[in-house]
Amino acid sequence: MVKRAMKTTRLALVASVVVMGLVFTLTRSGPLVSSAAASTTLAATSLGVKKTVLYLDIGASVSVGVQPTPRDPTGQPTNRGYSNRLVTIEAAKGIALKLTELGCPGESIAMMIKGPDPCYVAPDTQLSDAIVFLHTHRAAETLVTIDLGFNTLDVCLRGSDIDLACVTPKLALLRQQLRHVLRSLTSAAGQHVVMVGLGHYNPYLTKSVKEGAAEVFGKNSVAALRRLNESLLEVYSSFKIRMADVAKAFHEEDVHVVRISKKEVTTANVQYECKFTWMCAPKPFGPNLHPTDAGYQVIAQAIAAVLPANL
């Protein structure tokens, strides 16, 4: 049995907490245009802009770069998420992405469709605002990233147990609701819109190196999150939308044993989990499901990897 072995990784994450003290946080009050987008546009200009592309980012907490910060150790939106990092990646290619974030922490697909949520005032929803954005900019070249699904399934994964009887019906509901969202978005989109769906990483891998109920939970989460990504890929593919393989970017299938010390071993995927999320961070910043700076960077790279060459 693989035992928990996180001492070395935890030291690295403590250092990252100090770095996070420099995070510039963002407050939410409806659609948000990232300040990073403007600065990166200037950087792209100095490199020689080939073109400017609108970038609409929709989803839940990961879509708005939520991380624990000194101001709010439980997590808050930041300007260090994958969307901001994708702006930087594309700027290096001469593509100036003008970023608008509509995401809302805690958002499920049902909340996105019909509310209520803490980010939008009825009758507005994240979906209705996304549709308005696409209609308004119908002639513009636009990138849309869609980060949905985890919060629909997560109700089956909370606590120290996984309700396996809950997973199948929730995934069926997820597929139905996501199809509704994509039909609405593609109907509103013009002919110059590229959409990319995001798969999900598994934040519960660290539990698999513990013993007892936590170990069972961690192992069962692997099957549940794999089924989630299969469902997402099925729906995105049916709309001919590419999906960024975030689980692969997080090396979740790499289970080879890594020795930390003479007495401590872990697995490579758990080490990556500690690097790419706050799950191994000491209190008050961890454990936290959200990505670190390094995690958001690899998510951005996974998105960039599936973008068409002519974006």
Q: For residue 263, what pLDDT is reported?
A: 79
Architecture of domain 7-306: 3-Layer(aba) Sandwich (3.40)
Q: For residue 79, what pLDDT is reported?
A: 97
Interatomic CA distance for residues 267 and 210, integer angstroms:
12
Give the burial class of 274: count Cβ atoms within 10 A of its Cβ; 0-12 exposed, 13-18 middle, 19 or more buried. Answer: buried
What are 282-294's pLDDT values in tens digits?
Answer: 999 999 999 999 9
What are 126-184's pLDDT values in tens digits?
Answer: 999 999 999 999 999 999 999 999 999 988 987 667 888 899 999 999 999 999 999 99
Q: For residue 5, what pLDDT is reported?
A: 35
Q: For residue 159, what pLDDT is reported?
A: 65
At 6, which amino acid appears? M
Residues 6+ apart with CB under 8 A from 114: 125
Interatomic CA distance for residues 130 and 56, integer angstroms:
8
Q: For residue 215, what pLDDT is reported?
A: 72
Is pLDDT above 70 for 23?
Answer: no
Check residues 92 and 20 and name the one with the higher pLDDT: 92
- Please, which pLDDT band fits residue 120 given cuts at 50, 70 and 90? very high
Interatomic CA distance for residues 177 and 121, integer angstroms:
21
With beta carbons less than 8 A apart as the criterion, state whether 82 and 300 touch. yes
With beta carbons less than 8 A apart as the criterion, state whether 243 and 197 touch. yes
